[in-house]
Amino acid sequence: MSAISFLISRKAARLAGLGSESIRIARSQPVASAVTAVIVGGVCGVILGTTGQTIQAEADVLDLIDEAGTRSIVLIDRTGAAAIPQSAIRRIAALSTVEWVIGLGQAQDATNSAIGSGATRVAVRVIHGDLPGPPVLQHTPWHRQPGTALVGSEASGMLGLSHPAGGVDIDPWQLAVVGSFVANEPLTFLNQSILAAPSEKSDEQIRSIYVVARTPQDVAGLTDVLPELAGAVDRSGLALETSEALAAVRTAVAGELGRYGRNLVSLVLGVGLLLVGLNVYGAVTSKRRDFGRRRALGASRADIVQLVALQTVSVALVGAAAGLGIGAALVWRWTGDAPETGFTVAVGVLAVLAALAASLPPAIVAAFRDPVRVLRVP
C-alpha cells in the first residue's frame, strides 16, 4: 500500500506541476488565451440565446397542447346496459401509468329546494374515486358523507344559490349542498353540475370513467386495457374517447423542436471547436522552440499533450463562466425568465469539452515534433 500511495502522490504532484505550468504559459500568451476564452464564451452565449430559447418555446408549445388534454381518456356506457361496477375505479387507479381516475354515475335532474316548482334544473352526478387535486379540481373540504354534495361554479348561479350551501331536490330525496368546486380541463363540463357523494348501496353503477395518464405515451396502452379493467357486463355499449391524436401531435412537435435544438447546438459547437483548434495550433506553433527545449530536457510526449490540453481547459473554463454569466443575464433581460440551471451547466461542460477536443490535434503535433530540428539554428 505504501508503494501505491507513493505512486499516486507522485502522479498527483506531477499533474499539479503541469497545471501550474499550463497557467503560466497561458499568461505568457495573453492574446491567444483571450481569443480562446472569447470563442468558448461566445459558444456558450450563442447556445443559451438560441437553443435555450428554443427549449423554452418547446415547453410553452407543449404546455398549450397539454391543456387540450393529451393525456385524457373517457370510457362511456352509452346504452346504460354495460353495468360498470364501482370496483372498476380501484382496479384502474392501481395502474402505475394512471395519474388519476374518477367515475360518474347516471346524471339526474335537481332543483333548489327553496324555490320549488319551476326552478332551473341542474344535473347531479354521483362521483366515485379520489377527487383530482388542483389545478384540475379545486373544492371546499368535503368528507363525502352520503346525502351531501358540492355545487359547481356555474351551477351555483343557475340554482340561485348566493352561497354554496342549501338543499336540492332529487326525486324522491334531497341532497345537502355543503360546498363548491371549480373544475378545469379535462373536467370543465362539471362546473354546470352538482357532485354527490356515493350512497352506501354497493350496486350503484358507473356511466362514465375519466382517466388521465401520467404521460402522453401511456395513452395508447391504457386505451387497450381500460375496457377489460372496467369489468362491464355488456361491453357492446362501451365507447372510448381518447386524446391519442393529440398525443401523437405532441410527440411530433417535441421531436421536431428537439431535433432543431440538437442540430443548432452541434453546429455552434462544431464552429467553436474549429476556431479553438486553429487558435491553439497557432499558439503551439509560436511556442515550438519552448516545447522543443522541454523535449530535449526530458519531457515526454504525454507531458506535452497534457500541458497543451490543460492550458486550453484552464482558459476555456474562464471563458465558459463569463459567457454563461453574460448569456444568462441577457436571456433573463429579454424574456424575464432565467435559463434552466441544468441546461446552463450542460452547455458550459460541452463547450469546455469541445475546447479540450480541439486542443488535442495541435498538442499531438507539438509532442511529435523532432526537438533537434526545432532547436537547430539556421
Q: What pLDDT sits at residue 312? A: 87
Whether 5 is in a domain gets the answer no
Whether 10 is in a domain gets the answer no
**Same domain flag for 220 and 350:** no
**Same domain flag for 202 and 341:** no
**Same domain flag for 259 and 239:** no
Task: Provide long-range contacts, Cβ within 8 A and 24+ apart, for 282-291.
Answer: 282/32, 283/29, 283/32, 283/362, 284/308, 284/362, 284/363, 284/365, 284/366, 286/29, 286/32, 287/25, 287/29, 287/366, 288/366, 288/369, 288/374, 289/374, 289/375, 290/25, 291/366, 291/367, 291/369, 291/374
Cell numbers that stand for 268 in this block: 455552434
Amino acid occupying residue 377: V
**Same domain flag for 287 and 181:** no
Task: Kindly tell me if the per-residue pLDDT of 287 is higher than 90.
Answer: no
* Stretch among 57-61, 275-279, 325-329 having the lowest mean pLDDT: 57-61
Whether 285 is in a domain gets the answer yes
**Same domain flag for 169 and 309:** no
For the chain, counts of helices (H) and of strands (E): 10, 11
Task: Kindly tell me if the per-residue pLDDT of 165 is higher than 80.
Answer: yes
Return the bridge partners of 117, or none. Answer: none
Task: Kindly tell me if the per-residue pLDDT of 13 is higher than 80.
Answer: no
* Stretch among 67-71, 93-97, 294-298, 336-340 having the lowest mean pLDDT: 67-71
> What DSSP letter does each residue of 51-120 carry, written as one string?
HHHHHHHHHHHHHHHHHT-TTEEEEEESSS-S-B-THHHHHHHTSTTEEEEEEE---EEEEETTT-TTPP
**Same domain flag for 335 and 229:** no
* Stretch among 254-268, 314-328, 335-349 having the lowest mean pLDDT: 254-268
What is the C-alpha to C-alpha distance for residues 335 and 343, in angstroms, rounded to an integer?
16
Whether 376 is in a domain gets the answer no
Q: What pLDDT sits at residue 340? A: 77
Cell numbers that stand for 239 in this block: 365507447
**Same domain flag for 266 and 324:** yes
**Same domain flag for 103 and 227:** yes
- Higher-pLDDT residue of 37, 289: 37
Task: Kindly tell me if the per-residue pLDDT of 182 is higher than 90.
Answer: yes
Whether 226 is in a domain gets the answer yes
**Same domain flag for 86 and 129:** yes
Whether 147 is in a domain gets the answer yes
**Same domain flag for 177 and 263:** no
Q: What pLDDT sits at residue 1? A: 47
Q: What pLDDT sits at residue 101? A: 94
Last residue of a domain, one of 244, 262, 294: 244
Last residue of a domain, one of 244, 269, 290: 244
Last residue of a domain, one of 218, 244, 270: 244
Query: How would residue 210 be classed by pLDDT, with cut points 50, 70 and 90?
Result: very high
Amino acid occupying residue 334: W
Whether 7 is in a domain gets the answer no
**Same domain flag for 269 and 230:** no
* CA 206-211-216 angle, 5° bins: 160
Give mean pLDDT, residues 84-113: 92
The mean predicted confidence, pLDDT, of the chain is: 81
Total domain count, the chain: 2
- Higher-pLDDT residue of 201, 313: 313
Report field, pTM of the whole predicted structure over 0.85: no
Question: Which domain covers residue 287, as residue numbers?
Answer: 17-64+251-370
**Same domain flag for 225 and 357:** no
Whether 219 is in a domain gets the answer yes
CA 331 from centre of chain: 19
